[in-house]
Amino acid sequence: MQNRKSELTRNTNETQISVILDIDGTGKQNISTGNGMMDHLLSQLSRHSLIDMDIKANGDIETGWHHTIEDLGIILGKALHQALGEHKGINRMGHSFVPLDESLSFTAVDFSGRGYSVLDIKISDSDLGGLPADMIRHFLESFAREGKFNLHVRQITGQNNHHIAESIFKSLAKSIRVALTLDERQKNSIPSTKGTISD
């Protein structure tokens, strides 16, 4: 079995972040970003994808949350891409609908080596624990770009911003879990007609 683990750090004048991932984990998480809502959303991502995540972040939050959230997306995406290696044997694609009370979110992913996102989300700042709503969008964009996967998110219904955000992250987690599960029928091959999933 592949060793699908990674460990990365990102140290800049704006942020200091460390990430340890194990794709074949059980959803254990140890997450501290300085923002309780972001901790909660990343915990949902870990728990429902079954990816073990150890994430520590310190940032210049006196200027706002932009640098910390952006850099979290960048390093988490890079760590996930690194842990996948050649992408051998994965399903590669996955999608999921996830409800949370009145909110329903749909996500689809393709770990194709092509980082791209299309986000159809209507969310505002209230009830997000001080996390600006646009930072959720920015995190998802950065995560997909640096993780080199195609991400589509559609908010189908929802009024409560906390419910919307949580259903999105749970849906993303389930989609990733399906996409990164190893398929026994192609365990030694790369799931692409090109024969490679390039950087």
Instruction: State the CB neighbour count (10 A cutoff) for residue 22.
Output: 18
- Residue 69 inside a domain? The answer is yes
Domain tally, the chain: 1
Q: How far is it, in rounded angstroms, from Cα 111 to Cα 194? A: 14
Instruction: Indicate the angle between helix axes 36-49 and 133-147, nearest 10 degrees.
Output: 40
Instruction: Give the pLDDT confidence of 12-59 residue by residue, as tens digits.
Output: 999 999 999 999 999 999 999 999 999 999 999 999 999 999 999 999
Q: How far is it, in rounded angstroms, from Cα 107 to Cα 100? A: 14
- Residue 198 inside a domain? The answer is no
Q: Which of 103, 115, 80 lies closest to 168, judged by CA?
A: 103
- Residue 193 inside a domain? The answer is no
- Residue 142 inside a domain? The answer is yes
- Residue 199 inside a domain? The answer is no
CATH of the domain at 38: 3.30.230.40
Residue 65: give the domain boundaries: 5-186
pTM of the predicted model, to two decimals? 0.95
The residues, any chain, with a CB within 8 Å of residue 6's CB and separated by 6 or more, are 19, 20, 21, 79, 80, 82, 83
Instruction: Give the pLDDT confidence of 148-197 residue by residue, as tens digits.
Output: 999 999 999 999 999 999 999 999 999 999 999 999 888 788 877 787 77
What is the per-residue pLDDT for 199? 55
Instruction: Give the pLDDT confidence of 109-122 residue by residue, as tens digits.
Output: 999 999 999 999 99
What is the per-residue pLDDT for 195? 76
What is the per-residue pLDDT for 110? 97
- Residue 84 inside a domain? The answer is yes
